[in-house]
Amino acid sequence: MGIKFIKVSVCYFVIGVCLGMYMSMTENFNFTPVHVHINLLGWTAMTLAGLIYVAFPQAAETTLAKVHFWLHNIALPVMMISLALLVSGNESAGPGVAAGGTLMVLGIILFAINILKNVKAN
């Protein structure tokens, strides 16, 4: 699971950087919240989770790790697309942000449970 997290995180990093470059080139920073969340939850959090799972394979081999991976990767696009629509003026996208955010929090809670339960000193 660790390698999967790291590989997907690099995709989010490219998306976040390209969005940042687009905003800079157009001098339109309306998508700053989307840019920040893609970089934080997509690049940084997923990379760190991946590195933890590589360092502690007993945690990576659990069902909790798999569910965390899928929740994270379903939640983030739903939340970011909805947030982009919301900051563009589409107020009906609010429930998408809430649904994606709720799934994200659930995935992160499962990650925390997994780490607390399965990461042990040698």
- Give the tens place of pLDDT for each residue, 78-92: 999 999 999 999 999
Residues 37, 55: Cα–Cα separation, whole Å: 25
Residues 65, 13: Cα–Cα separation, whole Å: 21
pLDDT (0 to 100) of residue 21:
97
pTM, two decimal places = 0.91
Residues 68, 83: Cα–Cα separation, whole Å: 21
Which residue is listed with tokens 């629509």?
85
Residues 111, 25: Cα–Cα separation, whole Å: 37
Q: What is the pLDDT of residues 87-117, one digit of tens each?
A: 999 999 999 999 999 999 999 999 999 999 9
How many Å from the N-terminal Cα to the C-terminal Cα in the chain? 20
In the numeric block, which tokens belong to residue 104? 């994200």
CA distances from 104 to 23, 30, 31, 71, 94 (A): 25, 23, 20, 6, 15
105: nearest Cα among 69, 64, 70, 72: 72
Residue 29, H or E segment: none
The residue type of 77 is: P
